[in-house]
Amino acid sequence: DSGVTQTPKHLITATGQRVTLRCSPRSGDLSVYWYQQSLDQGLQFLIQYYNGEERAKGNILERFSAQQFPDLHSELNLSSLELGDSALYFCASSLGPLVDTEAFFGQGTRLTVV
């Protein structure tokens, strides 16, 4: 168990809908990272938050947004969903603003858009 908790584990929704994925980092970790894993794109970094502030942005679509709350949990919001958004979404956490020697991943949320 990595200590990073993601909910839900599975999500099936229709095109055009909006969903929210939730991540609780390991106790004490201040950084949260979101990644998308799809068959054609592989593992892609989406966005990082550190202590409530956006720290780095990757290939995140404008239809996607995220935030980190005062209790350090994070949510990734995906809207106007398309079939191509079907993927495994991972959250990872680390203590500081840079991944030091370890970055622990949650079990992922498998999103299926139908």
Partner 1 sequence: AQKITQTQPGMFVQEKEAVTLDCTYDTSDQSYGLFWYKQPSSGEMIFLIYQGSYDEQNATEGRYSLNFQKARKSANLVISASQLGDSAMYFCAMREGRDNQGGKLIFGQGTELSVKP
> Which chain residues interact with partner 1 by CB under 8 A?
2, 31, 33, 42-43, 45, 48, 50, 55-56, 58, 88, 90, 92, 94, 96-108, 110
Which residue lies nearer to partner 1 by CB, 76 or 106?
106
Tokens of 2: 């990595």
Question: CA nearest 54: which of 71, 22, 73, 31?
Answer: 31
Residues in the chain: 114
Nearest CB to partner 1, comparing residues 50 and 64:
50
Q: How far is the CB of 35 from partner 1 (least distance, A)?
A: 8
CA distance 50 to 63: 21
Q: Which is nearer to partner 1, 23 or 106 (CB)?
A: 106
Q: Which is nearer to partner 1, 56 or 61 (CB)?
A: 56
Rounded to whole angstroms, how far apart are CA atoms 49 and 55?
Answer: 5
Cα gap 90→43, rounded to integer Å: 9
Q: 100: which 2 tokens? A: 């030091």
